[in-house]
Every structure is written in structure tokens, then in C-alpha cells.
């Protein structure tokens, strides 16, 4: 299967402004790209690429005063299968976890494990450890939070989402991640593209999405508390402890986002 992904973001900048953009498909999918998903800007400016602490690809540049557009576009080859499930995946004891996963047991900017720990154990402490426990967390978060773009707020934490019972996909992910970490399950925040391929219409407008990856049975598994169902064509851009680590754009000055479009759709097969 071929999936067309890309985005276009247009800003008005009050003055020349440093920006870091995290918009390229993750390195784990590079071999699936039919063409490089170069970050293009209008007007053109010099870009400096680098990898952050988590290995995500970033571009830094200075956006000039006035109207400025960022754009990416590529075709990703995908197996076309639904997200994998492994109901036999077991939770590992903390002392047996790989050292690189321990970071994802800690509290972070949006995931207050210290304030949610008792709640997590009260709600899920009697569930079967492993896949069943994580799925119980996703079921609970999916049912507890009401989705709405009008509820988006950049300062909302996992505890806020728990108490307010509303939010967007990042809030679902933050609350589920916090619960997992409270229960000694490494969990990391993911951002990227999710398609509606294989789902009946009507389809939602294109947007970036957030989900989580959880370490069970010796590897990372995808869970999506917002949709709480498998998807076809989930394409990772970046992962970190929470949304603070993986902003699509990080701007160091005042600006206004005036246009935002995201494309995730099946492309036609190559004619033979």
C-alpha cells in the first residue's frame, strides 16, 4: 500500500524568529519512503538538521518577518495491516527492564505520576499485569475523556484531563501514559500521522495525532487511547516523554498560525 502524507503550515511572524521544526517521518520508516520528505519553506531559508536526545530528526532555522510557510510531502510504502496486537505480552519487573526504558517510568511535564499514583493503583491494581492492564487503562481513558478540538489547551496535564474529563488526542495519551508509569510500565508519547484507511465515512479532517508506545514482553507496542481501536497506516514522526519533547514547531517569538493542513490518504498503486 502507498500512503500520501504531508503537511503545510503558514505563519505570520512579527519579526525574524528562530524556529525548530519536527515534521519529518521518523528514521524507523526511512526505508519506506518513495522520496525524501524534505522540509521546504516559502520563502526559502537555510536549514540546519540535527537529531534530538530521543533520536528524532529536527530542523532549525530563522523564519523571516511576515508570512512564512512550512511544507512536507512524500509517499510511504506501508504493509496495509491494522495495528498489531499481542494479548500475551507480559509486563516485566522493573529490575529486568532495559536501562534505556527506565526514563519512561518517570514523571514528566504533562504526566504527573506523583499525583496520579494512588488513583492508578486504585483503578487498575487488580487487573492482570501486561497487555490486559494497558488495555484496561486505554478503555478507561477513552470512556472518561470527551473529545473536542474546542477543548484543546496547551497547558492541560494528565491530572487536568482526568479532572476535567475533556481534551484532544494528546490529553488521552498523557493520561494513559501517566497511569502506565504509575504501574511500573514504561510508556512514551508518540506523534505522527493516522489515516482513516479501511474505516467507513465520514472521515475526519486531516490532522496530526498522538498515541503511546508501551514496553511489554521485550519490545514497544502501540496503544491509542483516543481511538481505542487498530488503524491502518500509522506513521510515526517522533517520540519522547510527553508532548513537551516533540512539538511540531517550537517558535522563539510571537507569531500567528494562519493555515494548517495535514494529508494522510491512500495513494494510487504505481501503474505496471
Q: Output the domain CATH number for residue 127.
A: 3.10.620.30
- Domain assignment of residue 50, given as a range: 2-80+248-267
195 and 123, same structural domain?
A: yes
Do 252 and 216 lie in a common domain? no
Query: Does residue 17 lie within any of the structural domains?
Result: yes
In a domain, 87, yes or no: no
Mean pLDDT of the chain: 96
* Residue 89 resides in a domain: no
- pTM for this model (two decimals): 0.95
Are residue 124 and residue 157 in the same domain, yes or no? yes
User: What digits encode the pLDDT tens for the residues 31-45?
Assistant: 999 999 999 999 999
Residues 74 and 168 in one domain: no
Same domain, 55 and 156: no
CATH number at residue 16: 2.60.40.2250
Asked if 33 and 110 sit in the same domain, the reply is no
pLDDT at position 203 is 80
Please tell me whether residues 238 and 256 are part of one structural domain: no
Would you say residue 86 lies in a domain?
no
pLDDT band at 269 (very low <50, low <70, confident <90, very high): confident
pLDDT of 201 reads 84
How many Cβ atoms sit within 10 Å of the Cβ of residue 204?
10
Q: Please tell me whether residues 150 and 193 are part of one structural domain.
A: yes
Are 215 and 136 in the same domain?
yes
What local confidence, expressed as pLDDT, does residue 272 receive?
64
pLDDT more than 70, % of the chain? 99
Domain count, the chain: 2
User: Residue 218: inside a domain, yes or no?
Assistant: yes
In a domain, 88, yes or no: no
Residue 268 pLDDT:
87
Confidence of residue 204 (pLDDT cuts 50, 70, 90): confident
Residue 126 sits in the same domain as residue 215: yes
**30/158 same-domain check:** no
Q: What is the pLDDT of residues 120-174, one digit of tens each?
A: 999 999 999 999 999 999 999 999 999 998 999 999 999 999 999 999 999 999 9
59-103 residue pLDDT tens: 999 999 999 999 999 999 999 999 999 999 999 999 999 999 999
Give the residue-averaged pLDDT of 258-270.
91
Same domain, 261 and 241: no
State the average pLDDT over residues 220-233: 96
Is residue 26 included in any domain, yes or no?
Answer: yes
On whether residue 225 sits in a domain, the answer given is: yes
Q: Is the pLDDT score of 252 beyond 90?
A: yes
Average pLDDT over residues 206-219: 95
Amino acid at each position: 500500500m502507498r500512503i500520501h502524507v504531508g503537511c503545510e503550515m503558514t505563519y505570520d511572524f512579527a519579526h525574524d524568529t528562530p524556529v525548530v521544526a519536527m515534521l519529518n517521518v521518523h528514521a524507523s520508516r526511512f526505508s519506506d519512503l518513495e522520496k525524501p520528505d524534505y522540509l521546504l519553506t516559502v520563502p526559502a531559508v537555510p536549514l540546519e538538521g540535527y537529531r534530538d536526545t530521543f533520536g528524532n530528526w529536527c530542523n532549525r532555522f530563522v523564519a523571516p518577518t511576515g508570512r512564512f510557510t512550512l511544507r512536507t510531502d512524500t509517499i510511504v510504502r506501508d504493509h496495509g495491516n491494522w495495528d498489531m496486537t499481542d494479548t500475551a505480552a507480559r509486563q516485566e519487573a522493573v529490575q529486568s527492564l532495559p536501562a534505556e526504558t527506565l526514563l519512561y517510568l518517570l514523571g514528566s511535564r504533562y504526566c504527573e505520576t506523583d499525583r496520579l499514583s494512588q488513583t492508578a493503583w486504585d483503578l487498575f491494581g487488580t487487573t492482570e499485569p501486561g497487555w490486559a492492564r494497558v488495555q484496561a487503562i486505554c478503555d478507561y481513558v477513552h470512556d472518561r475523556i470527551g473529545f473536542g478540538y474546542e477543548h484543546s489547551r496547551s497547558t492541560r496535564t494528565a491530572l487536568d484531563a482526568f479532572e476535567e474529563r475533556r481534551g484532544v488526542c494528546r490529553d488521552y495519551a498523557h493520561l494513559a501514559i501517566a497511569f502506565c508509569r504509575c504501574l511500573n510500565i514504561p510508556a512514551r508519547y508518540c506523534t505522527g500521522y493516522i489515516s482513516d484507511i479501511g474505516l467507513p465515512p465520514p472521515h475526519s479532517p486531516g490532522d496530526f495525532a498522538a498515541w503511546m508506545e508501551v514496553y511489554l514482553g521485550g519490545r514497544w507496542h502501540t496503544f491509542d487511547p483516543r481511538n481505542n481501536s487498530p488503524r491502518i497506516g500509522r506513521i510515526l514522526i517522533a517520540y519522547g516523554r510527553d508532548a513537551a519533547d516533540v512539538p511540531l514547531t517550537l517558535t522563539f517569538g510571537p507569531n500567528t498560525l494562519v493555515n494548517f493542513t495535514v494529508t494522510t490518504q491512500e495513494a494510487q498503486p504505481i501503474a505496471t
